[in-house]
Amino acid sequence: SKILYANPRVDGYPLMSSPLPQTIIIAAYIYFVTNLGPKFMENRKPFDLRQIMLFYNFGVVALSIYMTYEFLMSGWATGYSFRCDLVDYSWSPMALRMVRVCWMYYFSKFIELLDTVFFILRKKNEQVTFLHVFHHTIMPWTWWFGVKFAPGGLGTFHGMVNCIVHVIMYMYYGLCTLGPAYHKYLWWKKYMTTIQLVQFIIVTVHIGQIYTMDNCPYQYPVFMFIIWLYGVLFLILFLHFWYVAYTKGQRLPKHMKNGIDKNKSE
C-alpha cells in the first residue's frame, strides 16, 4: 500500500510519470558536455554569457533560499527530530507541502545542468571534471525515485543542506560574474570547498545514525543506504579535489596567479 500511497500525490507533476524522460534529458546532457558541445565550440570564440549567467546565478540563489524555507516549514523546523523521521504519506497540507518542495528540489537539479552548458559555451572545458558531471547527473536521476516513493522524512535532510550550500555557492558565482570590481569580496573562495566538505560530513553523519538507531521504521531503507553512499563518495571525491587544488597549490583563485587579474576576460 505504501507504493500506491506514494504515487498519486505526484501525479500531474512534470517528469514524474516515468523515469524515461529524465533519463533521455540526462543522456543528452552527458553527450552535449562531453562530445557535441566541445566539438561545436572548437573553432568558435567563447560566448560572452555574463548577463545570462548573472540572472541565472542569482535566480538559483533565490530559488535555493525559497526551497530551504519550504523544507524547514514542511518538517525540518516544524517537528522533525533529525533522527528517525518518517515519510508522511497523508494528504495533509504539511505532507503535500513537503511533496511539492521535494519535486521543486528535484526539478532544480535540471536547471543546474546549465552550469556545465555555460562552461562549454565559454570554453572553460577544464572545469568539466568527472566529479562535476557525475554530481550533476546522479543527483537528479536518483531523486526521481525519492520524490516518487519517499518525499519527506530523513531522506530529505541532505536536500535541505544542499539548498543552504547552494545559496552560498551561487552567490559566489554571481559575484564572480559581476567582474573584477567585486573580486575583493571573494576572499572566502577557499572556504567554499570547506563548506561543501562540511555538507558531506553533516549528511553522512545524519544518515549514518541509521546504523545506531534501533529498528527505525523508515519506509525505504534503500534510500538511506544510497544517501550514505553518496555522502561518503562525494566526501572522498571532494577531499581529492581539495588535495589537488589547495595542498598541492594547483588551483589558486585565478585572479591571484602571478598577481595579474586574469578574471577580466571572464
- 146-165 per-position pLDDT tens digit: 999 999 999 999 999 999 99
pLDDT at res. 46: 96
Torsional sign, CA 85, 90, 94, 99: positive
> Euclidean distance between the first and final Cα of the chain, in Å?
54
Report how far residue 62's alpha carbon sits from residue 106's, in angstroms, rounded to the nearest whole number: 16
Mean pLDDT of 189-217: 88
**What is the SS3 assignment for 97?**
helix
Place 131 in a pLDDT band, splitting at 50, 70 and 90: confident
Give residue-wise pLDDT tens across range 57-110. Answer: 999 999 999 999 999 999 999 999 999 999 999 999 999 999 999 999 999 999
DSSP for 57-87? Answer: HHHHHHHHHHHHHHHIIIIITTT--SSSPPP
Give the pLDDT confidence of 181-192 residue by residue, as tens digits. Answer: 888 888 888 788
Give the residue from 240, 210, 241, 215 showing the smallest Cα distance to 227.
210
Grid cell listed for 185: 569580496
Sign of CA dihedral 134, 187, 48, 250: negative
* Sign of the Cα pseudo-torsion (226, 218, 68, 18, in order): positive
Between the CA of residue 162 and those of 81, 167, 215, 266, what are the distances in Å? 19, 9, 27, 27
Q: Known catalytic residue: 166?
A: no
- According to DSSP, residue 89 is labeled -
pLDDT at 196 over 90: no
pLDDT of residue 253: 52
CB-based contact 263:180 (threshold 8 Å): yes
* 105 Cβ neighbours under 8 A, 6+ residues apart: 67, 71, 143, 156, 159, 162, 163
- pLDDT(252) > 60: no
Instruction: Give the active site residue among 135, 158, 166, 255.
Output: 135
Three cell numbers written together for 117: 552548458
